[in-house]
Amino acid sequence: MDNKKITIDDIARDLGISKTTVSRAISGKGRIGTATREKVLSYISEKNYRPSAIAKGLAQSKTYNLAFAMPSDSKFIDLPFFQRCMWGICAEGSKADYDVLLCIVDENDISGLKRLADNHKVDGVILGRTYENGLAEKYLFSEGIPFVTIGTSAAADAVQIDNDHVEACRELTGRLLDEGLRRLAVIGGRTEHIVNKSRLTGFTKAHTERGLKTDNAIMYMGSSDKDSVEKALAKVLEQNVDCIVCTDDSVCNTVINRLLSLKLEIPKDMRVASFYNSTTLENFRPTITSLEFDAVGAGMLSCSTLLNLIDGVNVSKKTLLGYNILMRDSTRK
User: Does 8 engage in binding with DNA (CB under 7 A)?
Assistant: yes
Distance CA(83)–CA(294), nearest Å, equals: 12
Cα Dmax for the chain = 86
Distances (CA, A) of 165 to 77, 268, 312: 21, 28, 29
Q: Which is nearer to DNA, 21 or 196 (CB)?
A: 21
Number of Cα atoms under 13 Å in the Cβ half of residue 5: 5
Q: From the list a copy of itself, DNA, none, which binds 309 (C-beta under 5 to 8 Å, kind-based)?
A: none
Q: From the list DNA, a copy of itself, none, which binds 163 (C-beta under 5 to 8 Å, kind-based)?
A: none
Q: Which is nearer to a copy of itself, 182 or 258 (CB)?
A: 258
User: Does 111 engage in binding with DNA (CB under 7 A)?
Assistant: no
Sole window of 16-24, 146-154, 249-257, 276-284 interacting with DNA (rule: CB under 7 A)? 16-24
**Can you tell me which of 8, 24, 26, 68 binds a copy of itself, judged by CB under 8 A?**
68
Distances (CA, A) of 312 to 143, 152, 262, 308, 315: 17, 22, 57, 6, 9
User: Does 82 engage in binding with a copy of itself (CB under 8 A)?
Assistant: yes
Q: For residue 169, how far is the Cα from the chain centroid?
A: 18
For 17, counting Cβ atoms within 10 Å of its Cβ (0-12 exposed, 13-18 middle, 19+ buried), the class is middle
Distance CA(105)–CA(113), nearest Å, equals: 7
Sole window of 24-32, 97-105, 175-183, 205-213 interacting with DNA (rule: CB under 7 A)? 24-32
**Count of residues engaged in binding DNA, rule: CB under 7 A:** 30
Distance CA(58)–CA(64), nearest Å, equals: 10
Residues 6+ apart with CB under 8 A from 90: 99, 100
We find the least distance from the C-beta atom of residue 191 to a copy of itself, in angstroms, to be: 22
Q: Which is nearer to a copy of itself, 14 or 282 (CB)?
A: 282
Distance CA(250)–CA(268), nearest Å, equals: 22
User: Does 24 engage in binding with DNA (CB under 7 A)?
Assistant: yes
Q: For residue 30, how far is the Cα from the chain centroid?
A: 39
User: Does 7 engage in binding with DNA (CB under 7 A)?
Assistant: yes
**Can you tell me which of 23, 204, 250, 331 binds a copy of itself, judged by CB under 8 A?**
250
Answer whether 220's CB lies under 8 Å from 188's CB. Answer: yes
Q: From the list a copy of itself, DNA, none, which binds 78 (C-beta under 5 to 8 Å, kind-based)?
A: a copy of itself
Sole window of 27-35, 140-148, 266-274, 307-315 interacting with DNA (rule: CB under 7 A)? 27-35
Distance CA(136)–CA(45), nearest Å, equals: 43
**Count of residues engaged in binding a copy of itself, rule: CB under 8 A:** 63
Q: Which is nearer to DNA, 7 or 319 (CB)?
A: 7
Q: Which is nearer to a copy of itself, 163 or 277 (CB)?
A: 277
Residues 6+ apart with CB under 8 A from 47: 2, 6, 11
What is residue 74's three-state secondary structure? helix
User: Does 302 engage in binding with DNA (CB under 7 A)?
Assistant: no
| Region 30-69 residues binding DNA, contact defined as CB under 7 A | 30-33, 35-37, 51-52, 55-56, 58-61
Q: For residue 313, how many other CB atoms are within 10 A of its CB? A: 9
Q: Where does this chain bind DNA (CB under 7 A)?
A: 5, 7-9, 16-21, 23-24, 26-27, 29-33, 35-37, 51-52, 55-56, 58-61
Q: Where does this chain bind a copy of itself (CB under 8 A)?
A: 1, 3, 5, 50-55, 57-58, 63, 65, 68, 72, 74-80, 82-84, 86-87, 90-91, 94, 97, 99-104, 112, 115-116, 118-121, 142-144, 226, 250, 253-254, 257-258, 260-261, 278-280, 283-286, 296
